[in-house]
Structure 1
Amino acid sequence: MNIQMIKEKLHTDAYDFLRTDPHLGKNILILTAAGSVAYGTQVETSDIDIRGVAAETRQDLLGLSHFEQFEDRTTDTVIYGLKKFIALCLNCNPNVLEILGTKPEHLLLITAEGKLLRDHIDLFLSRKAVQSFGNYATAQLRRLQNALARDNYPQAEKEEHILNSILGQMDHLKRVYKNFTDQEISLYIAPSDKEDFTAEIFIDIHLQHYPLRDFKNIYGDMNNIVKDYAKLNHRNSKKDELHLRKHAMHLIRLLVTGAEILEGKGVNTYRENERGLFLDIRKGKYSYPEIFAMVDEYEQRFKIAAKHTALPGEPDYRRVEELMIGIYERLI
């Protein structure tokens, strides 16, 4: 479905909420096509996804009312309140950053204030993208890889998948809990004495004066990954097969988009260069081993981008706050 057809759809009764909901209407700053249309990966059966941003009303800001997000599941429309939207952008949340990075021709509505947000997207970009894009996508891809290969891969190789998922979370754990180094908590694979194992994951811990609760939470996060891999997954239907390939495609897209952000190339929601490849993955042209060989390459590119990025560790909160205040002053 092209953009003109989507614009025509917005004038139907199904989208009346855009005009009648008290938090939307004239308060909408940005409305854009999202999902497969925005990525360039749509097929004939693709749904219409709409995403947007709306300024809170005077009552929301100064009175007892409250508005964070509007959602209409029937039309797959999500519109964020401006404050929540900015908070998510500051954490490099992929779902909201892609609203600011869609192609201009995919915009269905934009005000001067909405343009200010899109023009200042660089203010939101930081090394937080390492976790929100790369570590998340890698963990999900490794989990998917293990689930698909559960009956075919040797036990030792499954251990490698689990270890890669845990290591992918390590940067996040180091930020959330009291700092530790790879020398203080080290995970690795070695031969196992267990009857059904040829190799397994081992851990060396050398911590002193470390908060017990932080260590409990670190262990809990790692244990949850192990438990997730232990759950059996039965995916035999053609529908599940299509869903898994689409899921893998979108996770690889996150890796590519995140790498570009870390390389200083901004947020490019539409994947012009990878569009053909992604559609081939979705349509089943590649086997799962071929897909995960690609994953290894994209993951390596992401790691290099993360290591050498010039992005700051944190966004410039003061400048973002000034931008937000300026937008509200124009609206109220």
Structure 2
Amino acid sequence: MTLEELKKSGAIIFESISGSKAYGLDTATSDTDIKGVFILPKEQFYSLNYIGQINNDTNDVAYYELNKFIELLSKNNPNIMELLNVPKECVLYKHPIFDTIKKDDFLSKLCKNTFANYAFTQIKKARGLNKKIVNPVEKERKSVEDFCYVRQENQSMLFKSFVEKNNFNLKGFGLVKLAHMKDCYNLFYNEDLNYNGIARKNANDVCLSSIPKPEQPIAVLYFNVDGYSTYCKKYKEYWDWVEKRNEERYKNNISHSKNYDAKNMMHTFRLLHMAKEIGLDGEINVRRNDRDLLLAIKNADFDYDELVHKAEKIKGELDEIYKNSNLIERPNMRLVNQLAYNIREKFYNL
């Protein structure tokens, strides 16, 4: 089922603007995020074609099937819990049956960990961006040869330096694996014997050649397989990130020169403050009354270490807050399961 098919199906029971516009933290360049809940047609729900979630490519628009929605609520997932109290002006559509889902049946002391842990993953993401900014990966991809080393007599050097030093032709090299020596090879050179070289173009491993018995190796070659694998992973991660990154957000992070993703840090404090409010008041405050502080964090008005210290302090306060909270320990799964069943049956009978 596509998004277009879902919207025409009549299966949606809730749809709302979410994200920064729901929090009241949007700016002129903010996207409009949409979240919603739907109920699969009866024949599809009972078949093997169950669909738990439908979203667009960027996940800015996401709809959750009732079972998945209820399951995530029972785990006190922060992104899902907030749908139970979005500002009225953000609600695009709500079927009356959705009102049978009450926050008091789900809001529990699990929020201490779900909100706080999610908050601290944002800290890691915020710092992780710095590594990409200050350690860019060159567009031209390195080859197997860049991770090969040659030992000749008492010296060890990069294979490419060895070739350049001796003015060798790359097509004149041949390799034979050395027994009992991992990733080590005898290196042969003869321009007249049609050897395969040490690696084919765009290959991820060295290649071997058939070597006549009279031939003698000129050196031992070592291929740093682990180093090459790590590089390939880093290369892919970096250029995937470049392809998918939000350029406006990236330029903002570059401009403030604080070496962290300020938007991630803003969400860290939004989540921690929400966790604190839930523990103290039992309320999911989606529309933020700490907007000025959060936007100052997004604007990188604070140093990273200062923010981490503040976040750790709030996280430490949560233990005492939740210890004295009147919240239930966790949702009653018998009641949760009955609720999911009642909603589905009632919807199918309408």
TM-score w.r.t. the length of structure 1 is 0.61
Distance 1:88 1:289, change over 3 A: same
Distance 1:322 1:62, change over 3 A: same
Distance 1:109 1:252, change over 3 A: same
Matched letter for residue 303 of structure 1: D
Q: Is the 8 A contact 2:130 2:261 kept in 1?
A: no
Q: Is the 8 A contact 2:51 2:65 kept in 1?
A: yes
Q: Tell me if 1:132 matches 2:114.
A: yes
Structure 2 distance, partners of 1:84, 1:307, is 29
1:36 — aligned with what?
20
Q: Tell me if 1:84 matches 2:64.
A: no
How far off is 1:245 after superposition?
A: 0.6
CA deviation digits over 1:298-328, x for unaligned, max 9?
A: 2233232222222232211122222222211
Correspondent of 1:257 among 269, 274, 288: 274
Matched letter for residue 33 of structure 2: D
SS at match of 2:277: helix
Identity of aligned residues (%): 30
Give matches, 1:131-170, under 5 Å: 131-138=113-120, 140-141=122-123, 144=126
Structure 2 distance, partners of 1:74, 1:144, is 19
Q: Tell me if 1:298 matches 2:292.
A: no
2:194 — aligned with what?
none
Structure 2 distance, partners of 1:111, 1:299, is 37
SS at match of 2:118: helix
Distance 1:22 1:136, change over 3 A: closer
1:317 — aligned with what?
333
2:104 — aligned with what?
122
Distance 1:73 1:325, change over 3 A: same
Distance 1:124 1:294, change over 3 A: same
Matched letter for residue 91 of structure 2: L
Query: In angstroms, what is the RMSD of aligned CA positions?
Result: 3.0
2:287 — aligned with what?
270
Distance 1:327 1:247, change over 3 A: same
Distance 1:24 1:130, change over 3 A: farther
Q: Which has the higher helix share?
A: 1
SS at match of 1:263: helix
Q: Is the 8 A contact 1:137 1:254 kept in 2?
A: yes
Matched letter for residue 315 of structure 1: P
Matched letter for residue 283 of structure 2: G
Structure 1 distance, partners of 2:7, 2:251, is 41
Structure 1 distance, partners of 2:120, 2:45, is 39
**Number of equivalenced pairs:** 229
TM-score w.r.t. the length of structure 2 is 0.58
Q: Is the 8 A contact 2:126 2:264 kept in 1?
A: no
How far off is 1:79 after superposition?
A: 0.2
2:299 — aligned with what?
283
